[in-house]
């Protein structure tokens, strides 16, 4: 009975507690707001490329010229091959030596042509290095007497200079030569016989200007192009030149206009006349020469026998001596050709690159070390890029990076944590504005960095 009574008492007590309201206070804290988070990625800067072209320092040229001769001369001998010229051809054919007497040391060439338009317009050229040049000259001058009676030496001289030949010597005339034309005839140019009804009246070559105009197109007439002649001069009477057929008025005018000299076709020996012509040609010769490439301005230098020489003019590729060096002198010229732009290892950039970092390629290949000089705004290469190379410089634009990232207003700063690329940022490295919900970094996170923020909201109060 006692045991039962005790149990009954406990039951009654529990029942009493169950039905009685709890009026005391609890020590348990309410639940915290949940953790919130947000992720950001810092901006990526634009990559900019700047292309530059390296200049060229050109190539050094050295050219030796041995003045073993007094110059370069190209001679056209126009010989009348009409029916009356047999003796005159024989007289001329053995006189090559006096023709070259004053210019034998020059670099000479001789072409022989006839006055007949139907004939081959050029025989030769004969050069000083040929085997038996005198024999070739004699053979060419003895051209026969079957040519037409309409002698056209003006036409044939131009044809020979132009190399307009049926079987002729090709382009034999040298660009930097002195030109001499020697006309040997017992008639005048374009003989006209009205009774027989032939001649070349009305043709372009009827007048001597046909030859002088052509010479003026290729040389400076009177300076490095002259016409000479052996003919019946207008000042001679019939008694002074009885073996000739007609005074050469047209030819004489050409000789006079070009500053040449003449001799009589009626002389028994042409040696004196040819020597006189040779001496006059020698006065026009020059030791000029042509360069292999175009010199850059201010780079041309010349020495003669090892000493500086300034008595020359330079026009394009052509070197003209205003005073000829001595025969046998050694001429050396040096110059730079093909330089362009500026050769450098420093190239301007339009703006400062981010972090001062510049990379570059030269011709598509890595350029190696490149630094940026903020004082000059230039990219500086450790090695100077090659001549004419194409350089591409790349860098990131130094645009500002974000320092503000918005999470949420009214975050509980006790629970605010900020990470950059997984590393916790000290609270001194940023600030938080609870009204705008923005985190502001003291220093912007690096380019493309991952920014992570965690926080709890403030507890609500009732």
Indicate if the pLDDT at residue 396 is higher than 50. yes
Q: Are 179 and 273 contained in the same domain?
A: yes
pLDDT for 1 beyond 70: no
Q: In sequence order, which residues have a C-beta less than 8 Å from that of residue 71 and are 6 or more positions away?
A: 106, 107, 178, 285, 286, 287, 288, 324
Residues 77, 182 contacting (CB under 8 angstroms): yes
74 within a domain of the structure (yes/no): yes
| Helix spans in 19-112 (H) | 86-93, 96-99
Length of the chain: 462
**275 and 139 part of one domain:** yes
Beta strands in 141-208 (DSSP E): 178-184
Q: Which two tokens stand for residue 99?
A: 């023709």
Looking only at the bridges linking them, the beta strands covering 411-420 and 47-53 are unpaired
Q: Which domain holds residue 299?
A: 59-65+288-337
pLDDT of residue 66: 67
What's the pLDDT at 104? Answer: 87
The verdict on residue 26 lying in a domain is no
**317 and 220 co-located in one domain:** no
Using the predicted structure, report yes or no on whether residue 175 has a pLDDT greater than 90.
no
**Radius of gyration (Cα) for the chain, nearest Å?**
52
Residue 75 CA to residue 291 CA, distance in Å, equals 23
What average pLDDT score do residues 245-250 get? 89
Quick one: pLDDT at residue 5?
44
Residue 69 binned pLDDT confidence (cut-offs 50, 70, 90)? low
- φ, ψ of residue 321 to 5 degrees: the values are -80, 125
* Burial tier of 62 (Cβ tally within 10 Å: 0-12, 13-18, 19+): exposed
Considering 381, 396, 411, which residue would you say is the last residue of a domain? 396
Q: Of 236, 247, 274, which Cα lies nearest the Cα of 92?
A: 274
User: Which structure tokens are listed for 258?
Assistant: 């070009």
Domain end among 243, 269, 284: 284
Q: Are residues 297 and 381 in the same domain?
A: no
Residue 445 or 108, more confident: 445
With cut-offs at 50, 70 and 90, classify the pLDDT of residue 22: very low
Do 232 and 372 fall within a single domain?
no
Of the ranges 165-179, 214-228, 293-307, which one carries the lowest mean pLDDT score? 165-179
pLDDT at position 461 is 61
Residue 1 lies in a domain: no
- Give domain status of residue 296, yes or no: yes
Identify the band that residue 34 occupies on the pLDDT scale cut at 50, 70 and 90: very high
Give the residue carrying structure tokens 């044809």.
159
Centroid of chain to Cα 15: 116
Check if the beta carbon of residue 268 is closer than 8 Å to that of residue 259.
Answer: no
Name which of 105, 88, 125 is nearest 229 in CA terms: 88
Q: What is the pLDDT of residue 12?
A: 37
Tell me: do 381 and 309 sit in the same domain.
no
Higher per-residue confidence, 193 vs 418: 418
Rounded CA-CA distance 105/98 in Å is 13
Q: Which of 427, 430, 374, 426 is nearest to 402 (CA)?
A: 430
pLDDT at 335: 93
State the Cα–Cα distance between residues 144 and 296, nearest whole angstrom.
54
Among the candidates 364, 396, 428, a domain finishes at 396
What's the pLDDT score for residue 243?
Answer: 86
CATH code, domain carrying 143 = 3.40.50.410
Q: How many domains does the chain have?
A: 4
Residue 47 DSSP symbol: E
Task: Compute the distance between CA of residue 55 and CA of residue 133 in angstroms, rounded to an integer.
Answer: 52
11-15, 51-55, 188-192: least confidently modelled range: 11-15
> What is the rounded average pLDDT of the residues 19-24?
49
Q: Is the model's pLDDT at 10 over the cut of 50?
A: no
Cα 144 from chain centroid (whole Å): 53
Residue at 137 is within a domain: yes
- Using the predicted structure, report yes or no on whether residue 29 has a pLDDT greater than 80: no
Name the average pLDDT for the chain.
86
Confidence of residue 68 (pLDDT cuts 50, 70, 90): low
Residue with the bigger pLDDT between 329 and 229: it is: 229
Kindly state whether residue 6 falls inside one of the protein's structural domains: no
Mean pLDDT over 323-332 rounds to 81
pLDDT mean over 251-274: 93
pTM confidence score: 0.54
Kindly state whether residues 330 and 350 are assigned to the same domain. no
Euclidean distance between CA atoms 56 and 336, whole angstroms: 11
Query: Do 249 and 274 have their domain in common?
Result: yes
Q: DSSP readout, 281-328?
A: HHHH----EE-SSPPPTT--EEEETTEE---EEEETTEEEESSPPPTT
User: Does residue 109 sit in the same domain as residue 237?
Assistant: yes
The distance in angstroms from the start CA to the end CA of the chain is 54
Q: Which residue do the tokens 């001062």 mark?
A: 356
pLDDT cut 70: percent of the chain above it: 88
Residue 170 has pLDDT above 80, yes or no: no
Please indicate whether residue 23 or residue 47 has the higher confidence score (pLDDT): 47
297-316 average pLDDT score: 92
pLDDT, one tens digit per residue, over 399-450 is 999 999 999 999 999 999 999 999 999 999 999 999 999 999 999 999 999 9
Judged against a pLDDT cut of 80, whether residue 90 lies above it is answered with: yes
Long-range contacts, 324-328 (Cβ 8 Å, 24+):
324/67, 324/70, 324/71, 324/286, 324/287, 325/67, 325/287, 326/67, 327/67, 327/68, 327/69, 327/70, 327/105, 328/66, 328/67, 328/68
Scan for tokens 């915290």, then name that residue. 32
Tell whether 111 and 257 lie within a shared domain.
Answer: yes
Same domain for 450 and 310: no
Both 215 and 144 in one domain: the answer is: yes
Residue 22 included in any domain? no
Mean pLDDT (whole number) for 91-98: 89
Query: Does residue 103 carry a pLDDT above 80?
Result: yes
The answer to the question of residue 189 being in a domain is: yes
Tokens at 309, concatenated: 């020489």
Is the confidence at residue 216, as pLDDT, over 90? yes
């Amino acid at each position: 009975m006692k045991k039962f009574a005790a149990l009954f008492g406990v039951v009654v007590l529990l029942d009493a507690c169950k039905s009685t309201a709890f009026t005391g206070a609890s020590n348990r804290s309410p639940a915290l707001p949940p953790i919130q988070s947000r992720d950001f990625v810092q901006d990526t800067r634009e990559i900019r490329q700047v292309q530059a072209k390296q200049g060229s320092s050109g190539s050094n040229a050295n050219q030796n010229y041995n003045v073993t001769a007094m110059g370069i001369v190209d001679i056209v001998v126009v010989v009348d091959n009409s029916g009356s010229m047999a003796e005159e051809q024989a007289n001329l054919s053995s006189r090559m030596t006096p023709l070259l007497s004053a210019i034998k040391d020059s670099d000479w060439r001789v072409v022989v042509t006839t006055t007949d338009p139907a004939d081959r317009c050029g025989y030769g050229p004969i050069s000083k290095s040929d085997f038996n040049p005198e024999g070739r000259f004699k053979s060419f001058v003895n051209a026969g007497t079957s040519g037409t009676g309409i002698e056209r030496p003006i036409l044939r001289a131009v044809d020979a200079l132009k190399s307009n030949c049926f079987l002729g010597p090709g382009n034999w005339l040298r660009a930097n030569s002195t030109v001499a034309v020697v006309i040997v005839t017992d008639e005048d140019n374009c003989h006209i016989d009205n009774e027989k009804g032939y001649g070349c009246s009305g043709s372009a070559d009827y007048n001597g200007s046909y030859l002088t105009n052509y010479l003026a197109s290729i040389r400076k007439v009177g300076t490095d192009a002259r016409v000479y002649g052996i003919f019946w001069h207008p000042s001679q009477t019939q008694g002074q030149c009885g073996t000739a057929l007609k005074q050469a008025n047209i030819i004489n005018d050409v000789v006079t206009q070009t500053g040449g000299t003449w001799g009589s076709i009626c002389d028994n020996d042409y040696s004196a006349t040819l020597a006189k012509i040779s001496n006059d040609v020698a006065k026009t010769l020059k030791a000029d020469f042509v360069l292999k490439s175009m010199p850059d301005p201010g780079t041309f230098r010349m020495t003669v026998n090892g000493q500086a020489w300034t008595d020359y003019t330079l026009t394009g590729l052509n070197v003209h001596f205003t005073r000829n060096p001595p025969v046998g002198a050694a001429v050396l010229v040096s110059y730079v050709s093909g330089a362009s732009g500026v050769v450098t290892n420093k190239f301007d950039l339009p703006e400062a690159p981010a972090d001062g970092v510049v990379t570059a390629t030269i011709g598509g290949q890595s350029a190696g070390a490149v630094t940026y000089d903020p004082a000059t705004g230039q990219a500086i290469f450790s090695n100077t890029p090659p001549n004419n190379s194409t350089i591409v410089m790349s860098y990131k634009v130094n645009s500002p990076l974000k320092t503000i990232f918005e999470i949420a207003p009214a975050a509980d700063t006790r629970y605010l944590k900020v990470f950059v690329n997984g590393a916790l940022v000290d609270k001194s490295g940023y600030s938080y504005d609870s009204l705008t919900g923005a985190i502001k970094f003291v220093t912007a996170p690096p380019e493309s960095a991952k920014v992570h923020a965690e926080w709890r909201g403030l507890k609500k109060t009732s």
